[in-house]
């Protein structure tokens, strides 16, 4: 037997998640008792419903037609306070929600006094037949079966009645119309009619009341606001009169002429300032020439005709020097007087400019305040008159409001709704058949595992070495003792058959290092590895089992690990293989146990330490079985498969999915190169459940082969 047939490909006619008609029929046939149970259950429920629940029901419907547009209003600007405009589709939905509100239903309960109706007050109802039977049963034995009734307040009773009304009344809109249907279904035809018509009347009354309340609120608001505006207007008028009487009021034109006068005065002030500065400079220059005794320069700079004539006479010796000095002194005194006069005129002009500027500033502020008061007074007057006009219009509007809907059709009594027992029972049977069949088909569609060796071979593309049944043990940690005490059991023979398939396949291929892996945890890989190692010991072979799943915290097989040799000790060089004895008497073969390490397991197996150790172990053992971690969980198995001779892939019966097997095989195949091949094992087969899936006798674990096995 070869592990792998390169010419074999998975059967394309059985894709994952698909189910043919034949398979569907087989699945439904296997679940026929489930289908029958569902059908009987729902038929029984329908029969009970027809006998004890169904009562004649009478329906009554009142119709309300909503107006397409709002009526003409007297008001224009205040309409938003009273109306929501034309009724649209959104408005119809809003009106339906208004009808469904607890307020209107509460008014319906109060107006018709529905709290005294047994249909809406369960406290007034007669006990059901089932309750009466239970009461009589317990009374026969002298036991009180009913709990004492708790008294209910009127509010609680009303709340219960409202909730009960919600269960019998419906509100809907006739498609593409503005008609609202109010339907009531009860056991009393007259009551249904009364409730439907009353609900329609309450809805119309509520519409009118809402508009009247809105108008009343708007009137109250306008009245209050009008009074406030009137008081504000009167206060502003008083302030304006008081301010006008206390201030020096001027015309804006006069104020403008004063501003022009101020500009002219400031121009004169600048000119006068320049004159004063010029005369002061002249005075200083003349005084400096006089003090220096330079009379000729003084007279020349003064540019006065009298002094020019005097200096001419002095040069012609017609005027003595004292007379010349006297004329110069007179000129200087005259110049000083002119300077003082100009300074006084400048000061007077500056004072006038300041007074005029202050006067203009004060009058400008008063004018601004006056204009502001006038504007505020006028604004207040306009607001007051506007609100007063609106208030008068609102008073006229009262009494003219109508509802946005009218009673289009009143409810009338009708015949009871048809209730046919045959239809009810048939409906129950169909529901049971659909639910039961759906559950069975759903389970089959969801299933993507393997239930036979043929399925595993056809869908994986690899040969299957064998199938191993489920070990009949509750505690899997006692597996070793099971194989020792029952060497001829069904499981032991299956493991022995697996051993034979491994050793007889590909005689030319080295089978010293055998790695066993699986897709995910809990597929029985570790227990099968121990069982295979223990079985190979019977061939007088020296066997070594390596626990390579060093990440695991717990162990599937219970042995005494206190005196065992750890795999990590040999890999890390803490111990030499020649100095240790890995034999475990309890097992009957050598074992290197797994212990947790701070280093990453993948890094350890990817290093040269593991291949180097494996080379040394090959020289001392006939077969080395490696229990590796699941390949989809961690990359350790892929690294180990690169240095192993053959790889055994474990698939759990009815559990491992096809996608997991396909992904795992692709991952390990990409690592194993050259002549390395893979064999598959279908593990943990439940012989008791294989018949339920149509695989009777396909494994040889049925009654025909049971005589060969030890029970």
pTM above 0.75, yes or no: no
How many domains, in total, are found in the chain? 1
Written as one string, the DSSP assignment of 593-632 is E----SS-HHHHHHSSHHHHHHHHHHTT-SEEEEEPPPTT
Q: How far is CA 470 from CA 211, 533, 534, in A?
A: 80, 18, 17
Q: What CA–CA distance (Å, rounded) separates 12 from 16?
A: 10
pLDDT of residue 577: 92
Task: Return all residues near 461 (Cβ < 8 A) that are at least 6 apart.
Answer: 5, 8, 9, 10
pLDDT of residue 2: 38
Contact 213, 83 (CB under 8 A): no
Q: At what angle do helices 295-302 and 321-397 cross, to 10 degrees?
A: 40
Contact 685, 653 (CB under 8 A): yes
Could you tell me if residue 482 is inside a domain? yes
Looking at residue 554, the DSSP 8-state letter turns out to be S
Query: What average pLDDT values come out for the chain (711 residues) when binned by 10 residues?
Result: 40 46 74 87 84 76 75 42 54 80 84 84 66 61 58 82 87 84 86 87 82 76 79 79 69 79 86 84 81 78 79 80 80 83 85 84 78 81 80 66 71 70 83 88 81 85 89 72 84 91 83 93 92 91 93 79 90 92 92 87 91 94 94 91 91 91 87 64 84 54 55 56
- CATH code, 604: 3.40.50.300
Beta strand pairing status for 623-627 and 589-593?
A: unpaired
Q: What CA–CA distance (Å, rounded) separates 525 from 527?
A: 6
Task: Return all residues near 142 (Cβ < 8 A) that are at least 6 apart.
Answer: none
Task: Give the largest Cα separation in the chain, rounded.
Answer: 180
Could you tell me if residue 548 is inside a domain? yes
pLDDT of residue 607: 92
Q: Tell me which residue range forms the domain holding 569.
A: 465-705
pLDDT of residue 71: 44
Closest-CA residue to 680 (of 510, 509, 486, 528): 528
Could you tell me if residue 557 is inside a domain? yes
Could you tell me if residue 445 is inside a domain? no
pLDDT of residue 440: 81
Helix, strand or coil for residue 525?
A: helix
Task: Return all residues near 564 (Cβ < 8 A) that are at least 6 apart.
Answer: 582, 584, 591, 592, 593
Contact 189, 414 (CB under 8 A): yes
Q: 171 - beta bridge partners?
A: 182
pLDDT of residue 396: 67
**Per-residue tokens: 599:** 């280093």
Contact 547, 556 (CB under 8 A): no
Q: How far is CA 22 from CA 18, 228, 696, in A?
A: 12, 89, 18
Could you tell me if residue 428 is inside a domain? no
Q: What CA–CA distance (Å, rounded) separates 33 from 56?
A: 36
Could you tell me if residue 673 is inside a domain? yes
Contact 59, 192 (CB under 8 A): yes
Could you tell me if residue 401 is inside a domain? no
Rg (CA), the chain: 58
Residue with tokens 């406290």: 123
Could you tell me if residue 559 is inside a domain? yes
pLDDT of residue 68: 65
Contact 86, 178 (CB under 8 A): no
Long-range contacts of 333-336 (CB under 8 A, 24+ apart): 335/279, 335/282, 335/283, 335/286, 336/283
Beta strand pairing status for 646-652 and 678-685?
A: parallel
Contact 505, 2 (CB under 8 A): yes
């Amino acid at each position: 037997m070869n592990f792998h047939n390169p010419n074999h490909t998975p059967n394309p006619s059985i894709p994952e998640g698909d189910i043919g008609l034949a398979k569907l029929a087989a699945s439904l046939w296997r679940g026929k008792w489930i289908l029958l149970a569902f059908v009987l259950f729902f038929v029984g429920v329908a029969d009970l419903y027809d006998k004890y629940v169904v009562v004649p029901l009478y329906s009554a419907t009142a119709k309300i037609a909503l107006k397409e547009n709002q009526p003409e209003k007297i008001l224009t600007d205040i309409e938003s306070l009273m109306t929501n405009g034309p009724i649209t589709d959104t408005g119809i939905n809003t009106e339906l929600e208004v009808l469904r509100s607890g307020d209107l239903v509460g008014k319906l309960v109060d107006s018709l006094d529905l709290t005294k109706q047994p249909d809406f007050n369960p406290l007034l109802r007669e006990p059901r037949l089932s309750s009466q039977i239970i009461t009589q049963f317990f009374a026969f034995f002298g036991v009180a079966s009913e709990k004492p009734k708790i008294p209910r307040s009127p509010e609680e009773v009303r709340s219960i009645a409202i909730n009960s009304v919600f269960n019998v009344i419906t509100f809907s809109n006739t498609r593409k119309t503005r008609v609202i249907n109010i339907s009531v279904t009860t056991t009393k035809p007259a009551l249904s009619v009364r409730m439907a018509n009353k609900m329609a009347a309450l809805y119309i009354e509520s519409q009118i009341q809402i508009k009247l309340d809105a108008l009343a609120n708007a009137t109250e608001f306008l009245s209050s606001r009008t009074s406030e505006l009137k008081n504000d207007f009167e206060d502003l008028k008083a302030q304006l009169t008081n301010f006008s009487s206390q201030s020096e009021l001027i015309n804006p034109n006069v104020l403008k002429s004063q501003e022009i006068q101020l500009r002219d005065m400031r121009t004169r002030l600048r000119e006068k300032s320049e004159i004063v500065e010029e005369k002061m400079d002249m005075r200083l220059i003349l005084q400096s020439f006089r003090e220096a005794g330079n009379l000729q320069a003084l007279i020349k700079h003064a540019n006065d005709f009298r002094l020019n004539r005097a200096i001419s006479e002095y040069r012609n010796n017609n005027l003595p020097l004292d007379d010349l000095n006297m004329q110069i002194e007179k000129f200087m005194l005259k110049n000083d007087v002119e300077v003082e006069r100009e300074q006084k005129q400048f000061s007077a002009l500056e004072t006038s400019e300041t007074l005029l500027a202050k006067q203009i500033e004060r009058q400008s502020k008063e004018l601004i305040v006056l204009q502001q008061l006038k504007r505020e007074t006028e604004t207040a007057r306009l607001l007051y008159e506007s609100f007063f006009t609106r208030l008068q219009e609102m008073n006229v509007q009262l009494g003219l409001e109508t509802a946005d809907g009218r009673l289009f059709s009143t409810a009338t009594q009708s015949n009871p709704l048809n209730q046919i027992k045959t239809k009810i029972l048939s409906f129950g049977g169909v529901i049971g058949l659909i639910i039961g069949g759906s559950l069975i088909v759903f389970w089959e569609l969801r299933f993507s595992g393997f239930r036979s060796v043929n399925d595993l071979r056809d869908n994986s593309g690899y040969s299957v070495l064998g199938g191993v049944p489920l070990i009949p043990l509750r505690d899997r940690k006692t597996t070793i003792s099971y194989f020792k005490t029952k060497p001829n059991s069904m499981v032991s023979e299956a493991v022995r058959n697996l051993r034979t398939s491994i050793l007889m396949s590909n005689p030319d291929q080295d089978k010293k290092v055998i790695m066993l892996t699986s897709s995910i945890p809990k597929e029985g890989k570790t227990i099968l590895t121990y069982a295979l190692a223990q079985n190979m010991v019977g061939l007088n072979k020296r066997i070594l089992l390596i626990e390579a799943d060093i990440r695991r915290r717990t162990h599937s097989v219970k042995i005494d690990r206190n005196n065992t040799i750890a795999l990590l000790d040999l890999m890390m060089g803490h111990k030499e293989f020649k100095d240790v004895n890995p034999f475990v008497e309890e097992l009957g073969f050598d074992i290197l146990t797994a212990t947790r390490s701070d280093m990453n397991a993948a890094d350890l197996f990817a290093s040269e330490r593991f291949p180097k150790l494996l080379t040394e172990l090959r020289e001392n053992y006939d077969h080395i079985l490696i229990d590796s971690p699941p390949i989809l969980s961690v990359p350790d198995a892929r690294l180990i498969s690169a240095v192993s001779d053959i790889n055994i892939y474990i698939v759990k019966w009815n559990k491992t999915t096809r996608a997991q097997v396909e992904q795992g095989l692709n991952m390990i195949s990409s690592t194993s190169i050259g002549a390395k091949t893979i064999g598959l094992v279908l593990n943990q087969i439940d012989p008791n459940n294989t018949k339920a899936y149509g695989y009777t006798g396909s494994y040889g674990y049925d009654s025909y082969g049971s005589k060969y096995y030890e029970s």
